[in-house]
Amino acid sequence: MMIEESTILLDTPVGRLAVATDGSAVLSIRIATDRVQELAQAETPVAMQTINELEEYFAGKRKEFGIPIRMNGTAFQIRVWNELLKIPHGSVTTYGEIAARIGKPGAARAVGMACNRNPLLIVVPCHRVVGQDGSLTGYAAGTDKKRMLLELENGIQER
């Protein structure tokens, strides 16, 4: 049985987001490309819950997400992404600290690559991971957007 994937768009302070769902869970939240924007909009209950929660987040009224998500990646990526879910709203950690927490202390660079491949922007908060020196290194959507998200969450500035 083939599961139908649908995408809906949301304009946010960090740009237009494309939210893809399969009807029961969110599969991805990404910066919308021109190609994605041409896809048909499908307002499923999961998509609408996601839109609502993202709007609350950007309005400063939500610190945690309750939407069902489905992570698709390698075993290592999923371990990293699950660890990212434990970073509290308004906090930051480093790639090296995440590597140590998952039992791979020298894998900071691999953690960075897993963050770069995170398909669930904002909800799986890879924007809360910074360089060892506190700098806002790398973010798939751009470090300017990473800074915006951190500032939104508590006025966190680059160290």
The tens digit of pLDDT for each residue in 118-147 reads: 999 999 999 999 988 888 887 878 888 999
Q: Are residues 108 and 146 in the same domain?
A: yes
CB of 9 closer than 8 Å to CB of 18 = yes
Cβ-proximal residues to 93 (8 Å cutoff; 6+ apart), any chain: 87, 128, 129, 130
Residue at 70 is within a domain: no
Largest separation between any pair of C-alpha atoms in the chain: 50
Both 27 and 80 in a single domain?
Answer: no
User: By percentage, how much of the chain surpasses pLDDT 90?
Assistant: 64
Please check whether residues 80 and 37 belong to one and the same domain: no
Structural domains of the chain, count:
2
The answer as to whether 159 is a domain residue is no
- What mean pLDDT, rounded, does the chain reach? 88
Based on the domain organization, do 84 and 45 belong to the same domain?
no
Please give the pLDDT value at position 23.
Answer: 82
Q: Sorting pLDDT into bands at 50, 70 and 90, what band is 38? A: low
Are the CB atoms for 133 and 159 separated by under 8 Å? yes
Considering the domain architecture, whether residues 92 and 24 belong to the same structural domain is answered as: no
- 47 and 83 in a common domain: no
For 12, residues 6+ apart whose C-beta sits below 8 A from its C-beta are 54, 58
Query: In which band, very low, low, confident or very high, does the pLDDT at 77 lie, cut at 50, 70 and 90?
Result: very high
Place of tokens 């904002």: 122
Would 63 be classed as within a structural domain? no
Pair 41, 7: CB distance under 8 Å: yes
Q: Is 37's pLDDT higher than 80?
A: no
Strand order in the sheet with 6-12: 6-12, 15-21, 26-31
10 and 42 in a single domain? The answer is yes
Q: How many CA atoms lie within 13 A of 90 on its CB side?
A: 7
What does the pLDDT average to over 40-48?
A: 79
Does this model's pTM top 0.75? My answer is yes
Do residues 83 and 128 share a domain? yes
CATH number at residue 121: 1.10.10.10
What are the residue numbers of the active site?
126
In terms of domains, do 80 and 119 share one?
yes
1 pLDDT band, cuts 50/70/90, is very low
Domain boundaries, position 141: 75-154
Give 40's pLDDT tier (boundaries 50, 70, 90). Answer: low
Q: Which of 58, 83, 100 is the last residue of a domain?
A: 58
In terms of domains, do 86 and 130 share one? yes
Question: Helix 108-116 crosses helix 75-84 at what angle (to 10 degrees)?
Answer: 80
